[in-house]
Chains A and B, each alone.
Chain A
Amino acid sequence: MEETKFEINGVEDFAVREHRSLWIDAWRRLVANRTAMVGLIVVVLFLLSATFAHFFWDYEPKTDLDYSAKLLPPQLIATEEVDIHLFGTDKLGRDIFRRTIHGGWNSLRVGLVAVSISLLVGGILGLLAGFFESIRMNFWESFILMTLLGFTLGMLPAWIAKQFFQAILFALLGAGSIIFDRYLNGKKKHRLYIFPALGAMLAALPGLMVGPMVALVCGVVGLLIGLLLSKPVGGELFSNIVMRIMDIILSFPSYLLAIAIVAFLGPGLEKGMIAIGVVGIPVYARLARSAVMSVTQKEYVLASHAVGESHSRMLFRHVLPNILSPIIVQATMGLANAILSAAALGFLGLGAIPPEPEWGAMLGDSYKYLSSGAWWAVLFPGLAIMLSVLGFNLLGDGLRDALDPKIRL
């Protein structure tokens, strides 16, 4: 069939435009965006050079030492005495170009893994929190929630009395609350007496075996837990607990928290990944939750609810695909931040363990020799950090414009 083109004021008519999926559409907008393409090229170059260097360019940091070539400035032409050193050499005579390229493997890997940790944990928490805040839990979901809640709360008297089985008793109490709610719904009033009494008993009787004082304290704790469990809690409580914990994490300055976590785990690349990943969790949890909550108000979710689709199908078929764009944008920008934080940790001596090359650690190594005027030893690793971060930021900016054409920033 011959292609017909409708031109209205130079704009292709929307109705007869060929069908394109959201992603292809977004990709075309991205390609048309010059700054975003610069970002993409920078990112791809960094990723490729790091990967190729890691697999095809041997480097043994432990034996890389050459005192005869200490702190040489960049040398572009080989002479009889010295080899080519594109970026110069550092205080141990190591070629900075080589270490910068190899350092990319470590620095980018930390960023990628850290963002994956924050994205997975934060995303899942935010997804569930947002979903169950706007959609009522069904029987089995509340059953699992109440059992877990009972078990968690029951850990306290169990710990005090050193009797683990108490936690299981409280898990049963939580489950009982849901069953009670379903089958004896009319008698709401009794629950306020029955459950605290049961809780006090479950905690105090085993406590008696240890001592009278233990029984007393456990009894009081059990009473309070029983009171909490007497009314089945819904998704709002779950969401509240999750978001409150996220608020607490957010009220710490991020670097400080990451440093504290690494101090706890001990230095090392993997520990740095975990630290940066944990610190980033609340950002994704908040983002995912608010995105889910706006999507669940949409008609198509309402419709799928009305036709009786299962919650998991609703979540994965209707909600998840529609919250992906803001999360992809945030993850790209987050990668930039994670690389920066990883470099900061490395700089403070809490990231990669020397002599392993890593951009931040290379800076931290060389900056003590500043007064010798060896500018090349600090210029190039820092430039690598900045350019890679800039690449991810440019790409993220472009992705935002491409994925959500309504927002113009």
Chain B
Amino acid sequence: MGRYILRRLLSVIPTLIGVTLVIFLFQRLIPGDPAVAMLGERATEENIARIREQFGLDRPSFLDRDALAEGNLAGFFDSQYSRYFGRLMRFDLGESIHRRIPVAETLKERFPATLELSLLSMSIALLIGIPAGIASASKRNTALDGVTMVGSLIGVSMPIFWLGIMEIMLFSVFLKWLPTGGRLPTGVEIQSITNLLLLDSLLTGNFAGFVAALKHIILPAVALATIPAAIITRMTRSSMLDVLQEDYIRTATAKGLSLRIVLFRHALKNAFLPVITIIGIQAGTLLAGAVLTETIFSWPGIGKWVYDSILGRDYPIVQGVTLLISIIFLFVNLVVDLSYAILDPRISLE
């Protein structure tokens, strides 16, 4: 097991290097000079040159062949990419070009907001999807099954930004029950421990803060949970249907076990593998879907931040956030693979 984990971790490295290459390449290819973007159109030539030098923007992208022609081997490898990679190795994500604040610092501040939103959405999706899938499979071809399947198809087809807008329309504009956006109303303070507001407010016993935070998070969380919930429902149902046809299920029923025990002890465990895979894939969808949800609900997470940064050509932010999301995605998939071995002893990892 230990060896398998190590091998999987090592196999992630080439993919990660590829990811850094692509991220870097994209930021370089996007038209527009960040130095000009930072200083404005009327900046002097000198100032632009100074900024370009300060951020290493005057270096070639990958390799400096002119330096090599002059016999300078070290200069050959001194490029924007090698500098970027070297900084990464020291866990330095660089500085925001516009605001001159280290990317890692803002990331530390904004990432918990996205994490909190994603975790809550995933919990909602699991709480709806798995029971709905089980119920629908065990009552196959009934009205309940039909309603669940139509519901999940509508969920899969839902543009989540539209759902978000309609939620705001109904609950915030017309009913005025919930706020339109943000994470907390002004004036409410929650002492930060983990920066996950719901958790922090519970830990410090701040009940008013908890309610306020919950009121803010519930609409975006529901919008973000829609697609994963629908996909998990469909997957759970089809995987349960497969398992319920097995002989051991018939045996279990024949020996007089209650439906509950057959479903939950015999069927669910075996039906869970494909569901776990889907949950892993959905983790990536959640992080990406955050771009849209956070934009609509003015949620101060990394999704809105990276979108604004792409438009503002703030390379270091885009590079940092995309890298972080890709690492999380790869890591989640590793955990998914490992969980197979725990759930199904027949799968050997060696």
Residues of A within 8 A of B (CB): 159-162, 210-214, 216-217, 244-245, 247-249, 251-256, 259-261, 263-264, 266, 336, 340, 343-344, 347-348, 360, 363, 367, 370-371, 373, 375, 378-379, 381-382, 385-386, 389-390, 393-394, 397, 408-409
> Does B157 belong to the interface (CB within 8 Å)?
yes
> How many contacts A-B (CB < 8 Å)?
148
Given A210-B69, A344-B159, A382-B165 contact (CB < 8 Å): yes
Docked CA distance A217–B65 (Å): 10
Given A214-B68, A382-B162, A256-B173 contact (CB < 8 Å): no
Docked CA distance A373–B241 (Å): 45
Distance (Å) between the CB of B110 and the closest chain A CB? 15
Contacting residue for B292 out of A160, A161, A344, CB 8 A:
A344
Among A159, A214, A217, A251, the most chain B Cβ lie within 10 Å of the Cβ of A251
Given A253-B288, A363-B162, A409-B238, A211-B68 contact (CB < 8 Å): yes
Docked CA distance A211–B76 (Å): 13
Taking CB atoms, residues of chain B closer than 8 Å to A373 are: 173-174
For chain B, what secondary structure do more than half of its interface residues adopt (helix, strand, loop), or is it mixed? helix
Taking CB atoms, residues of chain B closer than 8 Å to A375 are: 169, 174
Taking CB atoms, residues of chain A closer than 8 Å to B292 are: 255, 344, 347-348
> Does B29 belong to the interface (CB within 8 Å)?
yes
| Contact between chains at A253 and B153 (CB < 8 Å) | no
For chain A, what secondary structure do more than half of its interface residues adopt (helix, strand, loop), or is it mixed? helix
Closest chain A residue to B32, Cβ basis: A263
Given A259-B307, A336-B157, A386-B159, A251-B330 contact (CB < 8 Å): yes
Contacting residue for A248 out of B19, B30, B325, CB 8 A:
B19
Contacting residue for B291 out of A256, A371, A385, CB 8 A:
A256
Contacting residue for B19 out of A252, A255, A264, CB 8 A:
A252
| Contact between chains at A344 and B161 (CB < 8 Å) | yes
Taking CB atoms, residues of chain B closer than 8 Å to A216 are: 73
> Does B15 belong to the interface (CB within 8 Å)?
yes
Taking CB atoms, residues of chain A closer than 8 Å to B18 are: 244-245, 248
| Contact between chains at A217 and B73 (CB < 8 Å) | yes
> Does B158 belong to the interface (CB within 8 Å)?
yes
Docked CA distance A147–B159 (Å): 47
Contact residues on B (Cβ < 8 Å of other chain), bracket: 35 or more
> Does B296 belong to the interface (CB within 8 Å)?
yes
| Contact between chains at A386 and B288 (CB < 8 Å) | no
| Contact between chains at B289 and A255 (CB < 8 Å) | yes
Contacting residue for A260 out of B154, B166, B173, B318, CB 8 A:
B318
- The 8 A CB mask of B49-75 against A (1 = contact, 0 = none) is 000000000000001010011111100
Distance (Å) between the CB of A298 and the closest chain B CB? 24
> Does B285 belong to the interface (CB within 8 Å)?
yes
Tell me which residues from 124 to 178 in chain B have a Cβ below 8 Å from any Cβ of chain A.
153-154, 156-159, 161-162, 165-166, 168-169, 173-174
| Contact between chains at A378 and B169 (CB < 8 Å) | yes
Docked CA distance A363–B158 (Å): 14
Distance (Å) between the CB of B323 and the closest chain A CB? 10
| Contact between chains at A217 and B76 (CB < 8 Å) | yes
Top 6 A-B residue pairs of the complex, sorted by shortest distance between their CB atoms: A253-B288, A382-B162, A390-B157, A389-B157, A248-B18, A213-B71
Docked CA distance A247–B287 (Å): 18
| Contact between chains at A390 and B154 (CB < 8 Å) | yes
Taking CB atoms, residues of chain A closer than 8 Å to B306 are: 256
Taking CB atoms, residues of chain B closer than 8 Å to A217 are: 68, 73, 76
Taking CB atoms, residues of chain B closer than 8 Å to A363 are: 159, 161-162, 165
Contacting residue for A263 out of B15, B22, B234, B311, CB 8 A:
B311
Docked CA distance A130–B22 (Å): 25
Contacting residue for B285 out of A212, A253, A381, CB 8 A:
A253
Distance (Å) between the CB of B308 and the closest chain A CB? 11
Given A213-B71, A255-B292, A378-B169, A348-B284 contact (CB < 8 Å): no
Docked CA distance A90–B318 (Å): 35
Distance (Å) between the CB of A339 and the closest chain B CB? 9
Docked CA distance A256–B290 (Å): 10
| Contact between chains at B69 and A348 (CB < 8 Å) | no
> Does B106 belong to the interface (CB within 8 Å)?
no
Since A363-B161, A386-B159 are in contact, a sample of 17 more A-B pairs with Cβ atoms closer than 8 Å, ordered by chain A residue number, is A162-B69, A212-B71, A213-B72, A251-B326, A251-B330, A253-B288, A253-B325, A256-B288, A256-B291, A259-B291, A343-B159, A344-B292, A378-B165, A382-B159, A389-B157, A390-B157, A394-B153
26 contacts between A and B (CB under 8 A): A160-B68, A213-B68, A213-B73, A214-B68, A217-B76, A244-B15, A247-B15, A251-B326, A253-B287, A255-B288, A260-B318, A263-B30, A263-B310, A264-B29, A264-B30, A266-B31, A343-B159, A344-B161, A363-B159, A363-B165, A370-B169, A386-B159, A390-B153, A394-B153, A409-B238, A409-B241
Docked CA distance A256–B291 (Å): 8
Taking CB atoms, residues of chain B closer than 8 Å to A347 are: 159, 161, 292
